[in-house]
Amino acid sequence: MTILETCCRIIELKMMIKQNVERLKMHGEDYDNLFSETLNMMDELDFYVNQINDIDSRVSIEKY
């Protein structure tokens, strides 16, 4: 996965998480499944952010 693809996926996940939070606020949803789905998205988001940070730190080191 390229950095651009990773960034696009991060944006996509953030939008999906925001939508899930809005759906949770509206009530009437299956809270357990929606909450679990949202937590999984957040874990995936953390994974991608950590990858970007790792790449950024390696690039910073290579500059010097």
Each residue's pLDDT tens digit, 45-54: 989 888 888 8
Is residue 34 one of the residues assigned to a domain? yes
Residue bearing the bigger pLDDT, 62 or 19? 19
The pLDDT score that the predictor gives to residue 39 is: 87
Show the domain range for 23. Answer: 3-47
**Could you tell me if residue 59 is inside a domain?**
no
* 35-43 LR contacts (CB < 8 Å, sep 24+): 41/13, 41/16, 41/17, 42/13, 42/17
Residue 63 lies in a domain: no
Q: Does some domain include residue 64?
A: no
Mean pLDDT of the chain: 81
Q: What's the whole-number mean pLDDT along residues 24-34?
A: 75
Q: Does any domain span residue 56?
A: no
pLDDT value at position 29?
60
Across the range 29-56, mean pLDDT stands at 84
Q: What is the pTM of this model?
A: 0.62
